[in-house]
Amino acid sequence: MLELMRTVRLKLIVSSEQAVALQTTLQANREALNYTSQVAYEKGGISAFKQLQQFVYRDLRDKFGLKSQMACNVCSTVASTYASAKSNNRLVHAIYKHSKVVYSYNRDYTVQVDDQTVSIGTLNKRIKVPFLVGNNYRPYLDPSLWEFGSAELVPTRKGYALHVVVKRAMDEPIPQACDAVIGVDRGMNFLAVATNHHDETMFYKGRPIKNKKAKYVRLRKALQRQGTRSAKRKLQRTAGRENRFMTNINHQVANAIIAFAKQSGNKPCIVLEDLTHINLRATVRLADRYWRFSWAFAQLETFIRYKALAEGILVLSVSAKYTSQKCPKCGHTERANRDKQNHRFTCKACHYTLNDDLVGARNIRDRGVEQRHQIETIGA
């Protein structure tokens, strides 16, 4: 069994009095986090929740006025921070610059889906707040399908939002049940090229996205030349817009791949090439380095994987070596087979000709079929 998790964003509609209560709670919680972090660091970076709680729990209640569950959540947050720091061998004093209040469902917050309100705790008392939610999030608020978990109160530019974690258990997809294998090649001229066992294909063009990113590059250079305070502030806003733009594009690409997979079979399997450390192994021209190293390949893979899991679709990883140089027809592998400039593949042995990205997708698909067969053979 797998546990599927999603985060639902609820926009809170607060009164002026409620806004003051939430802001006071956020401020006290941030001070409590930093106090707890200092204690944990001075005592060698305590990463055990229970141990840390013994040192600071009473102070969190008396000095900062936190409720019982809020104090426990502060200890849990700080302990998790130092546990992560130790695992990465980067034990430093953690300072919380932003307010962060974590709530536990039924203990200090609840959601009334029918009334579209939330009841959340503050330093003084619970308050009942109406919320707005996007249509894309509404299915996750069905208590018959999803279980509510922790939530985080987040200040926004125009008010407050509550980020609620929901989860549900589901069966893990298995290779043996797969009735269609879809190979996906990721790139820049085509963000994704997918092909199935019937050689049906899907192309997602990347040239318009590359042109859009080029506009951001020109704007960034112009602002950097100015060097003024207002230019630097605009640089930050521009970076945020570019990141949101690419995130949205990767969501669209992932959705298109999932839709193509579902059209290909009842129990499809998506095969991706393993691009781990690909930028460390590749030799890239200086003029192309920005495009290559700023491209969000890892984010796209993350989106594909979690969206596939929600649909019960298995995702396999195969080696990326020579996927664009190997002929899918005769198997001849040679660098000269591929003409990168014209995006054509011509096998030097059998003269098979095809789009080079589609050749990559077919080789990825075929390697996925081999891997699936190996899994079935060994009974894994």
Question: What is the per-residue pLDDT across 303-336, written as a single tens digit (0 to 9) for each?
Answer: 999 899 888 899 999 998 999 999 999 999 999 9
Q: Which domain holds residue 303?
A: 175-378
β-pairing verdict for 109-112 and 117-121? antiparallel
The pLDDT-based confidence of 28 (bands split at 50, 70, 90) is very high
pLDDT at 284 over 80: no
Question: What is the per-residue pLDDT across 128-161, written as a single tens digit (0 to 9) for each?
Answer: 999 999 998 999 999 888 999 999 999 998 899 9
pLDDT of residue 278: 59
pLDDT at 377 over 80: no
pLDDT of residue 210: 79
One domain for residues 19 and 127: yes
pLDDT at 287 over 60: no
The pLDDT-based confidence of 295 (bands split at 50, 70, 90) is low
- Say which residue the tokens 């690909």 belong to: 278
> Final residue of a domain: which of 119, 145, 169?
169
The pLDDT-based confidence of 285 (bands split at 50, 70, 90) is low
Query: Which residue has better confidence, 372 or 292?
Result: 372
pLDDT at 277 over 70: no
One domain for residues 84 and 200: no
11-36 burial code (b ≥16 CB/10 A, e <16): bbebeeebeebbeebbebbbbbbbbb
> Final residue of a domain: which of 154, 169, 184?
169
pLDDT at 182 over 90: yes
- Average pLDDT score over residue span 38-58: 93
- Average pLDDT score over residue span 171-182: 86
pLDDT at 98 over 60: yes
One domain for residues 147 and 190: no
Give percent of the chain above pLDDT 90: 63
One domain for residues 139 and 183: no
One domain for residues 97 and 155: yes
One domain for residues 34 and 142: yes
Q: Model's pTM, two decimal places?
A: 0.75
- Total number of domains constituting the chain: 2
One domain for residues 295 and 241: yes
Question: What is the per-residue pLDDT across 222-252, written as a single tens digit (0 to 9) for each?
Answer: 888 888 888 888 888 887 788 888 899 999 9
What's the gap between Cα 19 and its chain centre?
A: 30
One domain for residues 150 and 179: no
One domain for residues 101 and 200: no
Measured CA to CA, the distance from residue 307 to residue 304 in angstroms comes to: 5
One domain for residues 109 and 182: no
Give percent of the chain above pLDDT 70: 94
pLDDT at 266 over 70: yes
pLDDT at 117 over 60: yes
pLDDT of residue 289: 52
pLDDT at 369 over 80: yes
- Average pLDDT score over residue span 168-186: 87
pLDDT of residue 127: 95
pLDDT of residue 360: 94
> Final residue of a domain: which of 169, 202, 229?
169
One domain for residues 164 and 179: no
Question: What is the per-residue pLDDT across 193-217, written as a single tens digit (0 to 9) for each?
Answer: 999 999 999 999 888 887 887 888 8
pLDDT of residue 221: 84
pLDDT of residue 280: 46
Measured CA to CA, the distance from residue 23 to residue 124 in angstroms comes to: 12
- Average pLDDT score over residue span 354-376: 90
Question: What HEC string does the chain produce?
Answer: CEEEEEEEEEEECCCHHHHHHHHHHHHHHHHHHHHHHHHHHHCCCCCCHHHHHHHHHHHHHHCCCCCHHHHHHHHHHHHHHHHHHHHCCCCCCCCCCCCCEEECECCCEEEECCCCEEEEECCCCEEEEEEECCCCCHHHHCCCCCEEEEEEEEEECCEEEEEEEEEEEECCCCHHHCCEEEEEEECCCEEEEEECCCCCEEEEECHHHHHHHHHHHHHHHHHHHHCCHHHHHHHHHHHHHHHHHHHHHHHHHHHHHHHHHHHHCCCEEEEEECCCCHHHHCCCCHHHHHHHHCCCHHHHHHHHHHHHHHCCCEEEEECCCCCCCECCCCCCECHHHEECCCCEEECCCCCCEEEHHHHHHHHHHHHHHHHHHHHHHHCC
The pLDDT-based confidence of 100 (bands split at 50, 70, 90) is confident
pLDDT of residue 3: 85
Measured CA to CA, the distance from residue 368 to residue 380 in angstroms comes to: 15
Query: Which residue has better confidence, 1 or 220?
Result: 220
One domain for residues 196 and 340: yes
